[in-house]
């Protein structure tokens, strides 16, 4: 019988977007990531890699007999205001086989009072994704910092078609925080939409992950917290989960 900790570890694994987004990623790194995407026949929700590695990740996962999704990033990590660039990158990512696209909102523009460019960028990228590809919008909550800005970015993303809102790129000094997650989940609840939530950046242990899972359960209800609605973007978390789950 799995322990309570092992049950939570299995949950966290099923919610995980196993991620490598380093400029020195190689074929070997991507294949190793995909190799580690399942533990005892239980798989992560997705692997997240740069667009140039999407096709390889899909091929390798298929060869492993896994139906794990492949996610990628666009307009990353800077959150450019170049809508055409973000749209083109999203088109290429989908053409390469991405099931999910994590696009960075132009958060700096939003901080300067420009709401129209971020709205247009999300809308354009969602139009390209359509219904078949999920669009996760990274609001970079650690850079927005203020509660009202995090709420505004979340509302703007959802209003323009985001399937998920995501805390962070993992490339700034402040990434996921429980305070930001609470604000974002509150916006999702108030929106009465099907938008999901993804916490990313700095979540390295099961204890870290459980705090976000419990927060989402408290705000949205336990039934809502499934891989369809809730994700954790991480890389080092897998090692902590593996130490528990190899015994299950």
CB 213 within 8 A of CB 11: yes
Question: Parallel, antiparallel, or unpaired: how do β-strands 230-234 and 196-200 relate?
Answer: parallel
- Check the CA dihedral 217-224-137-61 and report its sign: positive
Q: What is the pLDDT of residue 2?
A: 81
Distance from C-alpha of 70 to C-alpha of 239, rounded to nearest angstrom: 20
23-55 b/e with 16+ CB inside 10 Å = b?
eeeeeeebbebbeebbbeeebbbbbbbbbebbe
Contacts of 194 (CB under 8 A, 6+ apart): 163, 229
245: tokens are 């789950």
pLDDT in the model for residue 246: 78
Number of domains composing the chain: 1
The enclosing domain of 183 has a CATH number of: 3.20.20.70
Domain residues for the domain of 60 are 4-246
Residue 1's pLDDT is 77
pLDDT single digits (tens) 87-117: 999 999 999 999 999 999 999 999 999 999 9
Q: At what angle do helices 178-191 and 147-159 cross, to 10 degrees?
A: 40
Helices 206-220 and 4-15: crossing angle in degrees, nearest 10, is: 80
Q: Which residues carry out catalysis?
A: 102, 166, 198
Strand partners, 19: 48
Successive 10-residue mean pLDDT values, the chain, 248 residues: 91 98 98 96 97 98 96 98 98 98 98 98 98 98 98 98 98 97 98 98 97 98 98 96 82
What's the pLDDT score for residue 247?
A: 65
**Token duo for residue 37:** 């995407």
So what's the pLDDT on residue 248?
57
Q: Tell me the per-residue pLDDT of 200-237, one tens digit each, with 9 for 90 and over.
A: 999 999 999 999 999 999 999 999 999 999 999 999 99
- Paired with 198 in beta bridges are 166, 231
**Predicted local confidence at residue 83, as pLDDT:** 98
Residue 89 tokens, joined: 């990158």
């Amino acid at each position: 019988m799995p322990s309570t900790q092992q049950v939570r570890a299995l949950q966290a694994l099923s919610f995980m977007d196993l991620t490598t987004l380093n400029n020195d990623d190689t074929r070997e790194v991507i294949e190793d990531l995909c190799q580690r995407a399942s533990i005892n026949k239980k798989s992560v929700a997705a692997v997240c890699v740069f667009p140039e590695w999407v096709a390889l990740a899909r091929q390798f996962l298929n060869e492993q007999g896994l139906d794990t999704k492949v996610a990628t990033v666009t307009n990353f990590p800077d959150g450019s205001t170049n809508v055409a660039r973000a749209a083109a990158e999203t088109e290429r990512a989908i053409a390469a086989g991405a099931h999910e696209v994590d696009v960075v909102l132009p958060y700096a523009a939003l901080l300067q009072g420009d709401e129209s460019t971020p709205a247009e960028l999300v809308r354009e990228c969602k139009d390209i994704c359509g219904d078949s590809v999920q669009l996760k919008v990274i609001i970079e909550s650690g850079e927005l910092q203020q509660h009202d800005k995090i709420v505004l970015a979340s509302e703007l993303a959802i209003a323009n078609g985001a399937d998920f809102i995501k805390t962070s790129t993992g490339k700034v000094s402040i990434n996921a925080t429980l305070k930001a997650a609470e604000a974002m989940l509150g916006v999702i609840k108030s929106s009465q939409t099907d938008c999901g939530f993804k916490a990313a950046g700095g979540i390295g242990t099961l204890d870290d992950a459980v705090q976000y899972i419990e927060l989402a359960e408290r705000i949205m209800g336990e039934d809502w917290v499934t891989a369809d609605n809730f994700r954790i973007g991480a890389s080092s978390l897998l090692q902590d989960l593996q130490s528990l789950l190899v015994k299950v």
